[in-house]
């Protein structure tokens, strides 16, 4: 099951790369579709393996993997926070955490803790 959890990291890196391509080409990103698809995949795998921790790992590990990967693919600092985001989740993070990136560490720590329960 750890291999499936680690697959989420690969999926997030690939999705970040694809989003960077879309951004470079000035193509719109349908955040609802991407987020919904990721949630459905996470839910399916959680149910298939009967594992709430696996589902939680997929959901919580997304932010500390996807965002830094996207930033690096775009040539930005790993902890860059965009002010022109069209993502509702990013807007919520900026308003809750006031530009701090400490939540990346918090999510990563929680993700690693969940990984040890699998």
Model confidence over 48-75: pLDDT tens digits? 999 999 999 999 999 889 989 999 999 9
Does residue 48 lie in a domain region? no
pTM: 0.83
Does residue 40 lie in a domain region? no
Domain that holds residue 117: 55-118
Does residue 99 lie in a domain region? yes
Q: What burial class does residue 27 get, using C-beta atoms within 10 Å of its C-beta: 0-12 exposed, 13-18 middle, 19+ buried?
A: exposed
In this prediction, residue 115 carries a pLDDT of 87
In this prediction, residue 91 carries a pLDDT of 67
Does residue 76 lie in a domain region? yes
Domain count, the chain: 1
| CA neighbor of 39 nearest in space, from 59, 57, 53 | 59
Q: What burial class does residue 83 get, using C-beta atoms within 10 Å of its C-beta: 0-12 exposed, 13-18 middle, 19+ buried?
A: exposed
Does residue 82 lie in a domain region? yes
Does residue 2 lie in a domain region? no
Helices marked H in 1-118 — which ranges?
2-24, 31-48, 52-73, 88-97, 102-115
Which portions of the chain are predicted below pLDDT 70? 85-88, 90-91, 93-101
Does residue 80 lie in a domain region? yes
């Amino acid at each position: 099951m750890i291999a499936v959890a680690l697959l989420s990291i690969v999926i997030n890196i690939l999705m970040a790369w694809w989003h960077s391509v879309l951004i470079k080409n000035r193509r719109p990103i349908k955040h609802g579709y991407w987020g919904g698809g990721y949630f459905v995949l996470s839910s399916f795998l959680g149910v298939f393996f009967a594992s709430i921790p696996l589902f939680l790992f997929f959901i919580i590990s997304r932010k500390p993997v996807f965002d830094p990967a996207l930033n690096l693919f775009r040539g930005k600092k790993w902890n860059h926070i965009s002010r022109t985001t069209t993502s509702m989740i990013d807007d919520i993070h900026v308003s809750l955490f006031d530009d701090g990136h400490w939540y990346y560490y918090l999510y990563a720590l929680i993700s690693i803790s969940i990984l040890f329960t699998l």
